[in-house]
Amino acid sequence: MNVWKLVAEVIDVNIGSDYESVAKLWVANKKHLVTNVISSAVLWSLWKLRNECFQGVLWLGTRMVLIMITNILRGWLSMFKQEVGVLLESIIVKMEELSRHLAQIPSGRRRWQQLHHHNWFHRSLGLQQMPGVI
Domain ranges of the chain: 3-103, 105-134
Residues 6+ apart with CB under 8 A from 66: 3, 6, 95, 96, 98, 99, 102
Torsion of CA 45, 46, 48, 50, to 10 degrees: 160
Q: How many CA atoms lie within 13 A of 103 on its CB side?
A: 3
Query: What integer pLDDT is reported at residue 23 of this predicted model?
Result: 87
Q: Has this prediction a pTM greater than 0.75?
A: no
What is the average pLDDT score of the chain?
80
Chain CA centroid to CA 44, Å = 11
Give residue-wise pLDDT tens across range 8-26.
999 998 888 778 888 888 8
